[in-house]
Structure 1
Amino acid sequence: MIRRSILTGLAVLALSPAFAQGRKEPEVATTPKPLPTQTKDVVLTTPPVTPENTLNLDLSSGGRVSIQMRPDVAPLHVERIKTLVREKFYDGLVFHRVIEGFMAQGGDPTATGQGGSKLPDLKAEFNDLPHVRGAVAMARATSPDSANSQFYIVFQPVLKLDRNYTVWGRVFAGMDIVDAIERGEPPANPTKIVRASIGSDNVPPPAPSTPIPAAPAPAPVVPGTPQL
Structure 2
Amino acid sequence: MTIPKLRRGDRLVLATHNAGKLKEFQELFAPFGLELVSAGDLGLPEPEENGTTFAENARTKAHAAARGANMLALSDDSGICVDALDGQPGVYTADWAGVPRNFANAMQRVEAELLSKGATTPEQRTASFNATLCLAHPDGRDVLYVGKCDGVLVWPPRGTQGHGYDPMFQPEGFDITFGEMAAEAKHSWAPGGKGLSHRARAFAQFVENQIEQG
TM-score of Structure 1 vs Structure 2, range by shorter chain = under 0.3
The higher radius of gyration belongs to 1
The structure in which a higher percent of residues are helix is 2
- TM normalised by structure 1 equals 0.23
Report 1 or 2 for greater relative contact order, CA contacts < 8 Å, sequence distance ≥ 6: 1
